[in-house]
C-alpha cells in the first residue's frame, strides 16, 4: 500500500484528471456537476434530451399539418402536430436545464413535469377523437405521458432525499 504523501497526492490527481475527462467537475460548493451524481439529474437529463430530440424530429414529419390540428402525423406510434412538437421542446429544455443546474432544480423540474404529464395523460384519455384535442393526442401518447408521469414523479418525489439546503 502506498502511504507516502506524494503517492496519495498523485493518486488524487490521477483520479481527478480522469474524472474531468469524463465530464466530472467539482463545483465551488463541492457538488459534482455531472448528472450521474443524482438520480434526479440523470433521469431529468435523459428525459430532457429525448423530449428535445422528439420535438426536433417531429417538425420534420409534421410539415403541412395544422399547427394545433386535432390530427397530426405519426412519429413511430405517437401522433404529433407542430404545437405538440413545441411542447416537447419546452418540456425537454426545462428538464435539461434542471438537470444541468442542481439536484434541487432537477427534483423540482422532474416533479413539475411529472405532475403536468399526469394531468395530460388523464385528460388526454377524454380528448382523443374530440375537437378539443389541439395537440393531436392518441392512445399511445396517453400511455407515454402516464408512464413518464409515474417515473418522473417517483424520481422527483422519492430520490435524492438529502439535498443540501439552498445557499443565501
Whole-model pTM: value is 0.74
Q: What is the DSSP letter of 36?
A: G
DSSP 79-142: EE-HHHHHHHHHHHHHHHHHHHH-HHHHHHHHHHHHHHHHHHHHHHHHHTTSTT-TT---HHHH
Q: What confidence category does residue 166 fall into, taking pLDDT thresholds of 50, 70 and 90?
A: low
pLDDT reading at 32 higher than 70: no
Q: What confidence category does residue 162 fall into, taking pLDDT thresholds of 50, 70 and 90?
A: confident
Note the pLDDT tens digit of each residue in 93-142: 999 999 999 999 999 999 999 999 999 999 999 998 899 989 989 999 99
Q: What pLDDT, on the 0 to 100 scale, is given for residue 72?
A: 87
Note the pLDDT tens digit of each residue in 47-105: 999 999 999 999 999 988 999 888 889 999 999 999 999 999 999 999 999 999 999 99
pLDDT reading at 11 higher than 60: no
Amino acid at each position: 500500500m502506498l502511504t507516502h504523501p506524494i503517492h496519495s497526492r498523485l493518486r488524487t490527481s490521477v483520479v481527478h484528471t480522469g474524472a474531468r475527462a469524463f465530464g466530472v467537475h467539482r463545483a465551488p460548493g463541492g457538488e459534482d456537476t455531472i448528472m450521474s451524481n443524482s438520480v434526479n439529474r440523470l433521469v431529468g437529463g435523459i428525459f430532457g434530451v429525448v423530449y428535445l430530440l422528439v420535438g426536433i424530429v417531429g417538425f420534420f414529419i409534421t410539415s403541412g399539418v395544422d399547427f394545433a390540428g386535432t390530427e397530426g402525423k405519426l412519429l413511430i406510434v405517437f401522433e404529433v402536430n407542430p404545437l405538440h412538437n413545441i411542447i416537447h421542446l419546452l418540456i425537454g429544455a426545462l428538464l435539461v436545464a434542471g438537470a444541468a443546474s442542481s439536484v434541487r432544480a432537477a427534483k423540482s423540474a422532474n416533479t413539475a413535469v411529472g405532475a403536468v404529464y399526469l394531468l395530460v395523460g388523464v385528460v388526454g384519455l377524454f380528448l382523443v377523437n374530440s375537437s378539443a384535442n389541439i395537440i393531436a393526442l392518441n392512445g399511445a401518447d396517453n400511455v407515454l405521458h402516464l408512464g413518464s408521469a409515474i417515473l418522473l414523479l417517483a424520481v422527483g418525489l422519492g430520490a435524492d432525499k438529502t439535498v443540501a439546503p439552498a445557499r443565501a
